[in-house]
Chain A
Amino acid sequence: MKTGQQNTIAKTTSLLYETGIATGFAFRFFRQWFRRPFEFKEFLTQCYNVGYTSLPLIGLTGFIMGLVLTMQLRPTMLEYGVASQIPAIVGIAIIREIGPVISALIFAGKIGSSIGAELGSMKVTEQIDAMDVSGTNPFKFLVVSRVLACTLMLPVLSVISDAISLFGAFLGINIRGNTSFQLFWTEVVSSLSFNDILPAFIKTFIFGFAVGIVGCYKGYTCNKGTAGVGRSANSSVVVASVLIFIIDLLVVQVTDILGYN
């Protein structure tokens, strides 16, 4: 019988081992990325699958977030007599934090799980081996194209989501107030600076990469059986979501050190 301490050591060792393997997987992505042949057609297909199909969901959640945030904020702001500051506060909150993080979390739920399940089921049904014997580098065809698509599409989705979110915020203000779109927009833009936009935009690339690489890793290393596919889909979402928060924390620290706050 293992003692509690032995269990903890075993779990920690296993976690460190898995982290090492996953890091090796990520390095393999960077090594393969620059090598020919470039799977450009598959990359475009994945951009469509990852980007276009996620747009309605990310747009809808962005809209609701903007609307709800404004409606929740308004009574308190009115109480303190600073209701005119709502567009500026909402704008900064959405652009700097809420837009990128919520978009990334929704993206992890939709795309991370889908990639984990798809690659996992391909692994279990030997489709990845079949690709290998068909003269295709499956890592390049499946992993590199998907990770690149995620890395490039999430920033685009995040920008669109921010815009829809701000529109939701504008509607939220006008449910009980009367603010013109021009005034709202001027207030939002004048409150934002380069230091607000750039770090927030850059971190969406890192979020996209994290979602893509975790989904691919979990699917590509899936154990045999349908239970394995379920586990890889589930853990893709869980690990990617936790990673998003960790990356967010690190990016905030780094931007703070660099003087972007």
Chain B
Amino acid sequence: MKNNETQISASTLLTVNDLCKSFGDLVVLDHFNLTLQKNQNIVVLGKSGSGKSVLIKCIIGLLKPDSGHITVFEKEITSLNSDELDKIRKSIGFLFQSNALYDSMTVRENLEFPLRRHSQKRNESEVEKMVVQALEDVGLKHTIDMMPEELSGGMRKRIALARTLILKPSIILYDEPTTGLDPITAREIIELMNTIKRKYGTSALVISHDMNCIRNAGDLIALLWDGKCHVLDTYEHLLKSEDPVVRNFFAN
């Protein structure tokens, strides 16, 4: 199986071991395990409210897990201080479900923000070059001086992706990248995600329940069920699965 071969030969970028997270009495993640290899996209599938977004927010350090380990580039995320966490975050891109573009800034300023924050030594021409390159990657160079409110939903998603890309991360965490988009724009975003993977050799963890995204953007699919990784396999294998939980998702 092609994916298994990749798993064995490539180095591990991210491992999640026995991750647990609860909110009061509600157990969201219950000993969740996952491993992400280099140049691999894993789509995490699950019901609404099953803890998919919580998982990636724990990985990026926005939420603190109750127990368990998250290792990114061989560093334990849960034990890092804020400076060390910032350094790791340079290599992890995060595409928010709501795009999270800064309303009060132009597209240029939105893209410059992480660049200037993570390294203040870059000169103006270098920053300009990186901003233009990121916008060219998503095909929206002409929007450089526009405000986020002037952009359509699909364009905002692309700009958010450009902002994620600008620091050339090794891992990108996509939080429902196609939610709220029309089928054509959603397809364009998925193509863009695959282009980014090919061009920059990035790995990705994609949170989604869009079947088109699951089929086309993931090398492997992890099914989050009852707080655990119920199954991790290719789309083709999951389609043929007799497991009742998997059938629930892939029946149609």
Contacts and interface: CB of A to CB of B under 8 A. Distances in A.
B9 interface: no
Given A127-B102, A129-B62, A137 B82 contact: yes
A130 interface: yes
Interface residues of B, number: 22
A117 to B, nearest CB: 11
A148 B20 CA distance: 39
Nearest to B173: A133
B100 A125 contact: yes
Nearest to A124: B98
B103 A121 contact: yes
B82 A129 contact: no
A131 B89 CA distance: 11
B94 interface: yes
A121 B99 CA distance: 13
B98 A125 contact: yes
Interface of A is mostly: helix
A145 to B, nearest CB: 13
Contacts of A190: none
A56 B108 CA distance: 32
A127 B117 contact: no
A191 to B, nearest CB: 46
Interface string A15-35: 000000000000000000000
A97 interface: no
B97 A135 contact: no
Nearest to A127: B100
B103 A127 contact: yes
Contacts of B60: 133
B201 interface: no
A261 interface: no
Contacts of A136: 113, 117
B103 A135 contact: no
A129 B57 CA distance: 9
A112 B94 CA distance: 31
A6 interface: no
A211 B244 CA distance: 57
Interface in A103-158: 121-122, 125-127, 129-137
Given A121-B103, A126-B96, A127-B102, A133 B117 contact: no
A175 to B, nearest CB: 44
B228 interface: no
Contacts of A125: 98-100, 103
A135 B106 CA distance: 19
B97 A126 contact: yes
Nearest to A45: B104
B153 interface: no
Contacts of B118: 134-135
Contacts of B68: none
Contacts of A129: 57, 62, 96, 100
B86 interface: yes
Interface string A57-101: 000000000000000000000000000000000000000000000
B90 interface: yes
Contacts of A126: 96-98, 100
A126 to B, nearest CB: 4
Contacts of A122: 103
A134 B97 CA distance: 16
B154 interface: no
Interface string A37-63: 000000000000000000000000000
Contacts of B114: 134-135
Given A133-B61, A136-B117, 5 more contacts: A125-B98, A131-B102, A134-B114, A135-B86, A135-B114
Interface of B: 57, 60-62, 82, 86, 89-90, 92, 94, 96-103, 113-114, 117-118
11 contacts: A121-B103, A125-B98, A125-B103, A127-B100, A129-B100, A134-B114, A134-B117, A135-B90, A135-B114, A136-B117, A137-B82
Interface of A: 121-122, 125-127, 129-137
What 7 A-B pairs come out closest when comparing CB atoms? A130-B100, A134-B114, A126-B100, A135-B117, A135-B118, A135-B86, A126-B96
